Amino acid sequence: MITDEFQFCFPRSVEHPAAGYKKIFESVEELDEPLTAKVTGTVPSWLGGSLLRMGPGLFEIGGEPFYHLFDGQAMIHKFDLKSGQVTYYRKFIKTDAYVRNMTEKRVVITEFGTAAYPDPCKNIFSRFFTYFRGIEVTDNCLVNIYPVGEDFYACTETNFITKVDPDSLETLTKVDMCKYVSVNGVSAHPHREADGTLYNIGNCFGKNLSLAYNIVKIPGPQKDKSDPIEKSQVVVQLPSSERLKPSYVHSFGMTDNYFIFVEQPVKINLLKFLSSWSLRGANYMDCFESNESMGTWFHLATKNPGGYLSTHKFRTSAFNIFHHINAYEDSGFIVVDVCTWKGYDFVYNYLYLANLREDWEEVKKAAMKAPQPEARRYVLPLDIHREEQGKNLVSLPYTTATAVLNSDGTIWLEPEILFSGPRQAFEFPQINYSQCCGKKYSFAYGLGLNHFVPDRIVKLNVQTKQTWVWQEEDSYPSEPLFVASPEATEEDDGLLLSIVVKPGAERPGSLLILDAADLSEVARAEVDVIIPVTLHGMYKP
């Protein structure tokens, strides 16, 4: 079903009484060989390549459950498209976490919301020393996959990334980013330039527990075929507003000349991380807390050369942020479009598997307590004069976003709302990245979350706020990836690729191909297996 809607509203309230969404949170097995998909419609002849997706594929080991959405063991999925034919393949990433868990048939390494405990067969002294040594950082790379040079790496949000073969899906090499740059973890959403240069952001715990956020540059493919990761460098460092409590970072913004970092009130308590974690077997979620008074800060840094703009202090009310939509420069302003969740309560508190597997009425009740999602536009002025205190500094004619200089030198931001609906989120945003990243743009594509259940694909015109929606009964799509047509002249001339799960169907897993202009269906490739939830991924031509 496709609908056109205006003024940022969804077409109707959708119910899921059959709770088919529970199936996307169940364990699956690897495939021994690719499955041939049944294709309906016509796959465009120019669309030849692979859709690669990452997500959790194993939700329990040896009778021990994983508790959080971000705990399941990493699985890579691939839909191959060639000459109108489609195949589907999947493999577990053979991380250290996976191999050791499977060998010992229990949870050995602590994940995001699941603590590992010492082997009960060991004596009490061995168990004590296991606790005292602390818990190893996981390499369970279930969140995203991206190219580095001519290679491909699956990632989570720790310091470990895992090199994989995008053709065979075999696991190749584990890489510790700490060996190359000063970071204690890197985000799952790097930015990539046309020449292959990557930028990413991560926390850095320095001497005497000094804290900062480092933006890291990894060059593109090297002429001498050397590994670009070995040439990684920190290009700019951003300060933390609290010495022992860094903010959670999942993504950041980038324009042609600037980096944008949004410091949110969801914090990692380092003392808790370093002490109670080591002694009592806590997990990552146990180390998060919210700062109820800081609000949210926007930090700016120049790109070439890298430099922190300490004179520009932007502040707004509290919100959670996981995904930036896009950012661009216009007439002395930086426009920043983001997916937000109102308030300081951590959204991940609502993503435990027990919550997501509830019956529909219970899922709705839980979502009513969670922060309200909104897609927002903030505008940051670059030219600031003290005499303009108390005035709205934003003069762009097409936005209602404001920025007001306070007497303490900070600038208070109020957003323009791009999309809002009761318990309806526009999330996992995508754009025509190669054409529009860091540039003024019109269209964003997202996954529609209905009380945290992914049940639609949404196209949003960020200028007019018009929306288009694709939806089918009892169908659960994933993040839509945009692929531009070879001779495209318009921004939305291309296709959207999404994995859709329809649990009651004869062939419940499918690759859905939509026309990005109007979300009409172009083709569908169905396979006779369930595909568990996927988080992020990429299209490899």
- The average pLDDT across 414-439 equals 97
pLDDT tens digit sequence for 319-366: 999 999 999 999 999 999 999 999 999 999 999 999 999 999 999 999
Place of tokens 């309806």: 424
Average the pLDDT over each of 118-132, 237-251, 301-315, 494-508 and give the range with the smallest value: 118-132
Q: Where residue 125 falls among pLDDT bands split at 50, 70, 90?
A: very low
Round to whole Å and give the CA distance between 93 and 105: 17
Please, how many CA atoms are within 13 Å of residue 122, restricted to the half-sphere of its CB? 11
Quote the mean pLDDT of the chain: 93
386 touches 437 (CB < 8 A): no
8 lies in a domain?
A: no
61 lies in a domain?
A: yes
| pLDDT for residue 120 | 53
11 lies in a domain?
A: no
- The average pLDDT across 503-528 equals 98
Q: Where residue 402 falls among pLDDT bands split at 50, 70, 90?
A: very high
Q: Does residue 250 have a known ligand-binding role?
A: yes
Round to whole Å and give the CA distance between 494 and 492: 6
pLDDT tens digit sequence for 27-68: 999 999 999 999 999 999 999 999 999 999 999 999 999 999
| pLDDT for residue 18 | 96
438 lies in a domain?
A: yes
Distances (CA, A) of 168 to 37, 50, 54, 264, 541: 18, 12, 15, 39, 16
Percent of the chain with pLDDT over 70: 93
461 touches 445 (CB < 8 A): no
Domain count, the chain: 1
- The pTM assigned to this predicted structure is 0.95
Q: Does residue 16 have a known ligand-binding role?
A: no
Q: Does residue 191 have a known ligand-binding role?
A: no
Q: Does residue 323 have a known ligand-binding role?
A: yes
Place of tokens 């009490």: 124
| pLDDT for residue 271 | 83
Round to whole Å and give the CA distance between 524 and 142: 25
pLDDT tens digit sequence for 205-217: 866 667 899 999 9
Q: Where residue 282 falls among pLDDT bands split at 50, 70, 90?
A: confident
Place of tokens 């937000």: 340
State which H helix or E strand residue 434 sits in.
Answer: helix 433-436
128 lies in a domain?
A: yes
The CB-based long-range contact list for 303-310 (8 Å cut-off, 24+ gap) reads 303/235, 303/236, 303/254, 303/255, 303/256, 303/257, 303/258, 303/259, 304/257, 305/235, 306/215, 306/235, 306/236, 306/259, 307/236, 308/236, 308/237, 308/238, 308/239, 310/239
12 lies in a domain?
A: no
289 lies in a domain?
A: yes
78 touches 88 (CB < 8 A): yes
Residue 510, Cα to own-chain centre: how many angstroms? Answer: 22
Residue 99 has pLDDT above 80, yes or no: yes
CB contact set of 464 (below 8 Å; sequence gap of 6+)? 6
Give residue 146's domain range.
Answer: 20-540
